[in-house]
Amino acid sequence: MRDGVIITRPPPGLAPTMAAVAGAGWRPIAAPMLHVVPLGLTLGAFRPDAVVLTSGQALAALDDPRLHACPCYVVGQATARRARAAGFSHVIPASGTAAELVALLRASCRAGSRLLLAVGRGYGGDMANELRGAGFRVARRCVYAIEPVRVLPDATEADLRAEQVAAVMFYSTRTAEAFVAALGPIVAGMLARVDAIAMSGTVAAALTGGPHWRAVRVATHPDQDAMLDSLGRPDSN
């Protein structure tokens, strides 16, 4: 029975997504394709007026109560909930993309404000430059690194070989790239009867040139609710 849905995002987002997929009637299969390595935070003399996050993965490094007193601007409601749970008292979410977050900051913060942009290694450079061009003082700090998982979990590969997988969910380009790179030729050939569910067109583009999918579905908005809408329910597939 094709009732399995592979979820490629890493913790801590993995667990709530598995619960949501199970709530939609599917059998969730955990296959996190990224390993997150904490790097810590060094601010020096910089004292931010606001904290800016594009991913909840940065929150582990932001455990200083002095930072929690700052307004915290984030992408998406899921990261907003995690920021509040981590101790931030004033969290302002943009609806779903980094571009919308930049627009929110330009509308909400005065020119010259000091912004702590906490990101993963290799991320946030363009955003930092755009914010500096808009008149903000930006300290970009890489507080975690992401490493791809190079081999599929044994149980995930077994489900694919047994033709029990209906879809694979991809929340980022890096998870998509890591999943495709981890496929052996035999398993890759089994994806012709499996759907790829991509959070955005950019994520979907990372799947091109790889295995042949039954279909690549792109969420209408870059959030989990839209991902689940794209997935549907077992009786509708």
DSSP letters, 39-79, are: -----TT---SEEEES-GGGGGG---HHHHTS-EEEESHHH
Q: Which of 3, 159, 109, 126 is nearest to 54 (CA)?
A: 126
Per-residue pLDDT of the chain (237 residues; tens, 9 = 90+): 799 999 999 998 899 999 999 999 999 999 999 999 999 998 888 999 999 999 999 999 999 999 999 999 999 888 999 999 999 999 999 987 888 999 999 999 999 999 999 999 999 999 999 999 999 999 999 999 999 999 999 999 999 999 999 999 999 999 999 999 999 888 999 999 999 999 999 999 999 888 999 999 999 988 889 999 999 999 766
> To 10 degrees, what angle do helices 125-133 and 98-108 make?
30
Taking CA atoms, 66 is separated from 48, 50, 51, 201, in Å, by 10, 11, 11, 38
* pLDDT number for residue 106: 96
* pLDDT number for residue 210: 82
- Cα torsion angle, 197, 201, 205, 206, sign: negative
* pLDDT number for residue 236: 64
In contact, 118 and 58? CB cutoff 8 Å: yes
- Among the residues of the chain, which ranges form H helices? 14-23, 65-68, 77-86, 98-108, 125-133, 154-161, 173-182, 185-189, 201-205, 224-231
In contact, 38 and 144? CB cutoff 8 Å: yes
* pLDDT number for residue 208: 84
